[in-house]
Structure formats: structure tokens, C-alpha cells
Amino acid sequence: SQTIHQWPATLVQPVGSPLSLECTVEGTSNPNLYWYRQAAGRGLQLLFYSVGIGQISSEVPQNLSASRPQDRQFILSSKKLLLSDSGFYLCAWSVGGAGRRGYTFGSGTRLTVV
Amino acid sequence: QKEVEQNSGPLSVPEGAIASLNCTYSDRGSQSFFWYRQYSGKSPELIMSIYSNGDKEDGRFTAQLNKASQYVSLLIRDSQPSDSATYLCAVNSGGYQKVTFGTGTKLQVIP
């Protein structure tokens, strides 16, 4: 069966510090991978998605970047965090596109920038 | 204009009643429609998908789609306190690579 791992579960980081969140998927090949952010009391905002190794689509210009070094690994990074980067970060995967079968989400990382 | 709209709630229903959650969308080209359930502090979980006009039933859940009216709904029969969560409507947009989420409706089932 397919599983998605996301870590860490919670993170408190000072303003200006770097960020690296990692997501891995098991049990499937060539998944579409996604990073979402959910700010407190807000909806889900798509940040990046990837349809293959090294292929990254950015949805919102911001202080973040994403990379996909391996087929089932997706990394979200920042060189310098801002207060506005606080939120609940969710990795998700789908096969054949999320618009066909929906997403499976990881358990999320709650990031607080102080 | 928001692409996917939902009433934020909270929607309060007594235990055992039918909960009705509604969603409208703006893209007439959308073909895939999803409902996710999100418990407080947790990640969303896909509970229903619907692709053609009409009703789709899965246990206590029924999804309804009306493309002419650009309207999607989720009915939860025999609501239980464990159904208390935020329900997110999602619609594919610009192809099948991604979907757009509504902001969600918070459902409270009162014992």
C-alpha cells in the first residue's frame, strides 16, 4: 500500500533562519507531488507541484522553493524565513493528476516563525 | 470572485440528523469534484469524489453534482459526533494536475 511520510510534525524557527521540510512517498512510482500551506483560519494554498524528477511548478511567488531530487522525494526550502511563512505545511501525492483521483495528504508540519 | 465557495459555518446539527454541505464553483470546464474531511489539527482526508451529474452514495455519505448550476453538495445521513470536522470542497481547474479548494465548512454534530 502507498504511504506518505512528512517530517517534522512541528517546528519553531526564528525569523531569518533557513527551512527544509521533507516528504517521501512509498509504494508507488512516478507520483505527482504537491506542497500546500494552510494558514491559521485560512484555506489550502497550493505552493508547488511536481510531475517528475527535477520538474517543479510554482504557483505563488514567495520566499519558498521546492526540489524533487528523487522520484518519491519532495523538499520544501527557504533561505530566510519570514513571520508570514508560519502555517500548516502539507505534502500530498496523486497518480495521474490530483484532478482525476484526488490527493493523499501527509500528516503535515506545523511551522511557527518567531 | 472566488473559484470555489463554501459557507464557512459552523453548521450545527443534532446527532442522527442529516447534514447538508454546499459548494459552488466558477469554472464551467471543471470535470472532477471532491470532498475532503479535516479534523482539527489534522491533514485533510479524501472522503468522496464525483465526476458526473447526479448522486453518488458511499455509506452514510452522498455527493450530489449539478454541473448546469455549478453546484456540488455533500449529505451526511445519521450524523454522528465523530463527523464534527471541517469539510473541504475541491474542484479540478486548468486540467487535471491540480485542484482548487474552498475554504471549508465547519460541521458540529451535537450529541
Residue range B52-110, pLDDT digits in tens: 999 999 999 999 999 999 999 999 999 999 999 999 999 987 777 788 999 999 999 99
Nearest CA in chain A to B102: A43
Note whether A103 contacts B31, CB cutoff 8 Å: no
Neighbours of B16 (CB within 10 A): 11
Note whether A99 contacts B49, CB cutoff 8 Å: no
Q: Is B92 on the interface with A (CB under 8 A)?
A: yes
Q: What does DSSP assign to residue A48?
A: E
* Distance of alpha carbon B53 from alpha carbon B69, whole angstroms: 10
Q: Residue A61: what pLDDT?
A: 64
Which amino acid is residue A55, in one-letter code?
Q
Query: Of A62 and A88, which is predicted with more confidence?
Result: A88
Per DSSP, what are the bridge partners of residue B100? B91
Note whether A100 contacts B32, CB cutoff 8 Å: yes
Which amino acid is residue B54, in one-letter code?
G
Min distance B77 CA to chain A CA atoms (Å): 23
Sheet strands (E) in chain A: 3-7, 10-13, 19-26, 32-38, 44-52, 55-58, 65-70, 73-78, 87-94, 104-105, 109-113
Q: Residue A102: what pLDDT?
A: 87
Q: Is A103 on the interface with B (CB under 8 A)?
A: yes
Nearest CA in chain B to A32: B97
pLDDT > 90: percent of chain A: 75
Mutant choice from A4, A35, A44 vs B, greatest count of B C-beta within 10 A = A44
* pLDDT confidence tier of residue B1, bands split at 50, 70 and 90: low
Note whether B103 contacts A100, CB cutoff 8 Å: no
Per DSSP, what are the bridge partners of residue B75? B20, B62
Nearest alpha-carbon partner for A38 in B90, B21, B54, B43:
B43
Nearest alpha-carbon partner for A105 in B41, B88, B38, B45:
B45
Neighbours of A114 (CB within 10 A): 10
Q: B88 near B82, Cβ under 8 Å?
A: no
